Structure 1
Amino acid sequence: MEDKQKICDLLVPVLQETRNLKDLLTLDYDAEKEVVTATFLNGAEKHANVAMDSGTSMIRDIIAQIV
């Protein structure tokens, strides 16, 4: 089974190198709700529904839903 929080943790520094997400602070995976919460430096939060996703699908969904 994939460690989805680890995938989120590893994805953060990659996304921080982009123009659109340089202010991303954290990606937190809630396994019970199957939602990733993106927190930004200004305190704003965005949520990405990643229900039933594989690791690679989760990455695509996070990017699509928080940009």
Structure 2
Amino acid sequence: MENKQEILDLLLPALQATRNLHNLISLTYDTEKEVVIACFAGGKKLANVCGDSGTSMIRDVIGQIV
């Protein structure tokens, strides 16, 4: 079983090092809704990751918050 929050915790610093997502503050996995909440300095974005594997979740988060 993959720990999706752990994957997001490891992904966060890599995304913060990029030009497009330097203002990303946090990534939180909501287990009930199966969404990732991306918090930015100016607000929040949601990424639907329902049924995703860890690698699919990474792709979906990047695709939906950029």
TM range, normalised to the smaller chain?
Answer: over 0.9
SS at match of 1:37: strand
Q: Does 1:22 align with 2:22?
A: yes
| Counterpart code for 1:45 | K
| Counterpart code for 1:19 | R
CA–CA separation in structure 2 for the residues paired with 1:65 and 1:31: 18
Q: TM-score, normalised by structure 1?
A: 0.96
* Counterpart position of 2:54: 55
Q: Over aligned residue pairs, what C-alpha RMSD do you find? A: 0.5
Moved over 2 A (4+): none
Please show how residues 2-21 of structure 1 align to structure 2 within 5 Å. Answer: 2-21=2-21
Q: TM-score, normalised by structure 2?
A: 0.97
- Deviation string 1:29-62 (CA, Å, 9 cap, x unpaired) is 00111000000123x1000000000000000000
Q: Which runs of 5 or more residues in structure 2 are unaligned?
A: none
Q: Which runs of 5 or more residues in structure 1 are unaligned?
A: none
- How far 1:66 sits from its partner (Å)? 0.1
Aligned residue pairs, count: 66
